[in-house]
Amino acid sequence: MHFAILIYDEPASAVLRDQYRQTHLDYLKVFDAQTLFAGPFTTDNESADLGSLRLIEFPDRATAHRHVTEEPYVLGGVQKRWYIHRWLPRLPYSWRDCPRTKGHIQAMFHGLDQPGASALRREFREAHEAYLAQHASMVMACGPLVVDDGEEPIGSVLLLDVPDMDAARAFMAHEPFYSNGVYKDINFHRWRFGRVMDRFK
């Protein structure tokens, strides 16, 4: 199973983050083989980290939960709040081979659906899929968040490769699920590759 793990930094935790960074990086290295994407989401100008997103494979939710609770940033108090959702990747990419353009930045969208949004999803699914296909060079990862049995969509995750955050916002403004009110709880931020190496550096 793949999981999307969204973890929030605590306010004013930058000093703690620096203190535990190396231990955190060493911890994540153990999970490289099963990690599709991992990295922090930040303010637009990258002046502050706000949390992290991991798209990662585990056998079950209990293992995913243990992965979070044993994370050095969590043990050290940098991070105390998180979402764990099963996630179905719709593209074959990982950080190793995803579409990238030199000079671009990355953006993250994590949205949980409005109550009763399944009808909207059915209505706009074809347009949503066509839109992502039309902008394939910008989409590094995408797929629905689902209940644990994998049957019912409850949200979406997108990782985008874009010239800037204005381009990311323009992309989302015209995305059919987003523009037609599918989502309620939204995290939409600049994102960057974490421990995994950026192949453009």
CATH number at residue 146: 3.30.70.1060
- Evaluate if residue 197 carries a pLDDT over 80: no
d(CA 80, CA 35): 21
Please indicate, yes or no, if residue 93 is contained in any of the structural domains: no
**Is the domain of 166 the same as that of 133?**
yes
**Is the domain of 186 the same as that of 138?**
yes
Please indicate, yes or no, if residue 152 is contained in any of the structural domains: yes
Half-sphere exposure of 138 (CA within 13 A, CB side): 21
In this prediction, what percent of the chain has a pLDDT beyond 70? 97
- Evaluate if residue 96 carries a pLDDT over 50: yes
Full residue range of the structural domain in which residue 18 is found = 2-86
Query: What are the respective helix, strand and coil percentages of the chain, to the nearest 5?
Result: 30, 35, 35
d(CA 97, CA 77): 33
- Evaluate if residue 198 carries a pLDDT over 70: no
Write down the pLDDT at residue 2. 97
Please indicate, yes or no, if residue 178 is contained in any of the structural domains: yes
Write down the pLDDT at residue 160. 98
Write down the pLDDT at residue 196. 52
* Residue 103 CB neighbours (<10 A): 7
**Is the domain of 145 the same as that of 79?**
no
Phi-psi region of 7 (alpha: psi -120 to 50; beta: other; left: phi over 0): beta
End residue of a domain, out of 52, 86, 120: 86
**Is the domain of 112 the same as that of 171?**
yes
Residue type, 132: L
Please indicate, yes or no, if residue 94 is contained in any of the structural domains: no
Confidence grade of residue 194 (pLDDT, cut at 50, 70, 90): confident
d(CA 159, CA 81): 21
pTM higher than 0.85: yes
In this prediction, what percent of the chain has a pLDDT beyond 90? 95
**Is the domain of 110 the same as that of 165?**
yes
End residue of a domain, out of 86, 117, 139: 86
End residue of a domain, out of 51, 86, 121: 86
Please indicate, yes or no, if residue 95 is contained in any of the structural domains: no
Domain count, the chain: 2
Write down the pLDDT at residue 119. 96
Confidence grade of residue 201 (pLDDT, cut at 50, 70, 90): very low
Write down the pLDDT at residue 1. 95
Q: What is the pLDDT of residues 128-178, one digit of tens each?
A: 999 999 999 999 999 999 999 888 999 999 999 999 999 999 999 999 999
